[in-house]
């Protein structure tokens, strides 16, 4: 029998003391961890895929996706304040929708994170080709995988401080990139300013029409994967109610400014036709204007960005697998926690994505990055849609909470619009050549994951019947 949301909330509160993760993350560490998770290869490398389809109008795609990210982030923060627990994404869906939905959200997010870890590592290996063209891609993937597992085995406070400074490199770099690009446009460098001519060169601002712009949206949205870390860290932050709200307010606006400003300036400095994915579009800007040494430095920065994204994503995957084990949905061994508060078995299980990356980079090195984006895309879209639907139910249960205390404004209209937009984007992916694996892998994944879930439920029910028979 399924408990009502009110009873499930009470049950969650009773179980809160059972968690053994340590609340040692500060607000500054949380803020930079989320920024570090979001600013990765989706922006530094994946933006090339979006620009290839949308042309200069990709700026509008990033503005649109920023609005969706704003809705998702604030809805997560509202719910995380009430449910500050590890694996809270699944708790939201499980409490306000159904146990199956809660399970599917957790396991889908874990799968997305696992694949995303591999995606970031593959991107890092691509960046290394800038300097070391003779060294095979799989070597860098294996080396970085070992480093990430080691760093994630540190105590969470030490890990948070490391990720803080790791992510700070990206933030400083994006700010410097914006300043440099603005200086080029204003004619303050030795490079002749192109003005705004690149926005209208060739076929104009919309070179591939409105359909090309819409097809660029899925790739632009990839850049915002990682914002959900705001709720996953809820089990390990100090004073979660205040910390999560404050961090969520500041994080999303910084991301919007970074993303939209950097993409707008990038497309103004260089022609969209010249941007590709063999090197980061941000590195290409410095190459195009003749700053070779700056290009090499930028390549190092985007390398650290990929590693930082993989680092924080491995953290998120580890906590999600730990939460699944705590709820009895995967083997109990993944629930074990070391003396310094790290779920080591869950860490090793989540490192599966690193192993996948090594295999894929050996078999299909050229297509590895695009394939991993497509496969992970369905999982994260499913998670975001389920979270927003759960938020609709959450607001009905918590009617006593005045609207002005909620981060999400204009609910339920804005929430419904965001859900419809995400559904339209996932449907659109079927007509984008590079995204076709999204629908196919998503359908297979739903069947396999659901089959496993109902098998577990059957075993639990049969176990209860056996215990009842023995007692009688």
- pLDDT digits over 34-48, tens only? 666 666 666 766 677
pLDDT at 61: 92
Helices (H), 364-435: 368-397, 413-428
Q: Are 388 and 75 in contact (CB under 8 A)?
A: yes
Look at the chain and count its residues: 472
For the record, the structure tokens of 77 come out as: 């923060």
Please name every residue paired with 157 in a beta bridge, in sequence order, or none if there are none: none
**Cis peptide leading into 218, omega within 30 of 0?**
no
- 19 contact partners, CB below 8 Å, separation of at least 6: 85, 86, 235, 326
pLDDT at 277: 54
Q: Are 148 and 314 in contact (CB under 8 A)?
A: yes
Average pLDDT, the chain: 75
Rounded Cα gap, residues 82 and 19, in angstroms: 16
Q: What is the pTM of this model?
A: 0.79
For the record, the structure tokens of 318 come out as: 């580890």
Q: Are 34 and 230 in contact (CB under 8 A)?
A: yes
- List the domain boundaries for the chain: 5-13+23-471
Half-sphere exposure at residue 235, Cβ-oriented, CA atoms within 13 angstroms: 26
- Residues of the chain with pLDDT below 50 are 1-3, 5-19, 402-403, 464-472
Rounded Cα gap, residues 105 and 109, in angstroms: 6
Dihedral (C-alpha) 267, 268, 274, 280: value to the nearest 10 degrees? -50
Residue the block writes with tokens 């192993």: 355
Q: What is the pLDDT of residues 137-174, one digit of tens each?
A: 778 888 888 888 888 777 666 666 777 777 777 778 78
DSSP of 235-284: GGBSSHHHHHHHHHHHHHHHHHHHHHHHHHHHHHHS-GGG--SSS-HHHH
For the record, the structure tokens of 469 come out as: 């028979």
Three-class SS state of 25: strand
Rounded Cα gap, residues 326 and 86, in angstroms: 10
Q: Are 321 and 334 in contact (CB under 8 A)?
A: yes
Question: 301 burial class (0-12, 13-18, 19+ CB within 10 angstroms)?
Answer: buried
Rounded Cα gap, residues 323 and 313, in angstroms: 15
For residue 135, the Cα-to-chain-centroid distance in whole angstroms is: 29
Q: Which CATH code for domain 5-13+23-471?
A: 1.20.1740.10
Rounded Cα gap, residues 227 and 192, in angstroms: 38
Rounded Cα gap, residues 252 and 255, in angstroms: 5
Percentage of the chain exceeding pLDDT 70: 70
pLDDT at 60: 92
């Amino acid at each position: 029998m399924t408990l009502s949301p009110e009873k499930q909330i009470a049950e969650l509160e009773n179980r809160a003391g059972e968690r053994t993760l340590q609340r040692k993350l500060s607000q500054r560490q949380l803020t930079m961890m989320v920024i570090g998770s979001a600013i990765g290869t989706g922006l530094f490398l994946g933006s090339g895929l979006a620009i290839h389809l949308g042309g200069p109008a990709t700026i509008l795609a990033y503005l649109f996706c920023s609005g969706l990210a704003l809705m998702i982030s604030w809805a997560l923060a509202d719910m995380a304040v009430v449910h500050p627990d590890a694996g809270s994404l699944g708790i939201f869906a499980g409490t306000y929708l159904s146990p199956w939905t809660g399970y599917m959200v957790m396991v889908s997010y874990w799968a997305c994170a696992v694949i995303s870890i591999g995606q970031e590592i593959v991107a890092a290996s691509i960046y290394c080709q800038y300097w070391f063209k003779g060294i095979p891609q799989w070597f860098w993937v294996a080396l970085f995988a070992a480093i990430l597992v080691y760093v994630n085995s540190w105590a969470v406070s030490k890990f948070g401080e490391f990720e803080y400074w790791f992510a700070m490199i990206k933030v400083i770099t994006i700010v410097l990139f914006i300043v440099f690009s603005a200086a080029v446009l204003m004619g303050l460098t030795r490079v002749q300013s192109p003005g705004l001519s690149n926005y209208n060169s060739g076929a104009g601002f919309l070179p591939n029409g409105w359909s090309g712009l819409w097809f660029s949206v899925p790739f632009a949205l990839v850049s915002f994967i990682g914002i959900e870390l705001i709720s996953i860290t809820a089990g390990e932050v100090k004073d979660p109610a205040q910390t999560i709200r404050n961090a969520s307010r500041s994080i999303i606006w910084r991301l919007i400014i970074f993303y939209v400003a950097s993409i707008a300036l990038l497309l103004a400095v260089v022609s969209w036709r010249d941007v590709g994915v063999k090197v980061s579009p941000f590195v290409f800007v410095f190459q195009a204007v003749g700053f070779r040494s700056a290009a090499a430095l930028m390549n190092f920065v985007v390398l650290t960005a990929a590693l930082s994204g993989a680092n924080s994503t491995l953290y998120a995957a580890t906590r999600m697998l730990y939460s699944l084990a705590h709820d009895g949905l995967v083997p109990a061994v993944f629930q074990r926690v070391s003396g310094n508060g790290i779920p080591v078995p869950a860490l090793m299980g989540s490192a599966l994505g690193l192993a996948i990356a090594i295999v894929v980079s050996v078999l299909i090195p050229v297509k590895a990055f695009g394939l991993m984006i497509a496969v992970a895309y369905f999982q994260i879209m499913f998670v975001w849609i389920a979270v927003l639907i759960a938020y609709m139910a959450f607001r009905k249960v918590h009617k006593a909470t005045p609207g002005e205390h909620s981060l999400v404004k204009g609910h339920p209209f804005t929430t419904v619009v965001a859900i419809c937009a995400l559904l339209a984007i996932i449907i659109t992916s079927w007509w984008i050549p590079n995204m076709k694996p999204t629908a196919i892998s998503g359908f297979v994944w739903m069947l396999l994951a659901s089959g496993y879930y109902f098998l577990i439920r059957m075993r639990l029910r049969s176990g209860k019947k056996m215990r009842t028979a023995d007692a009688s």
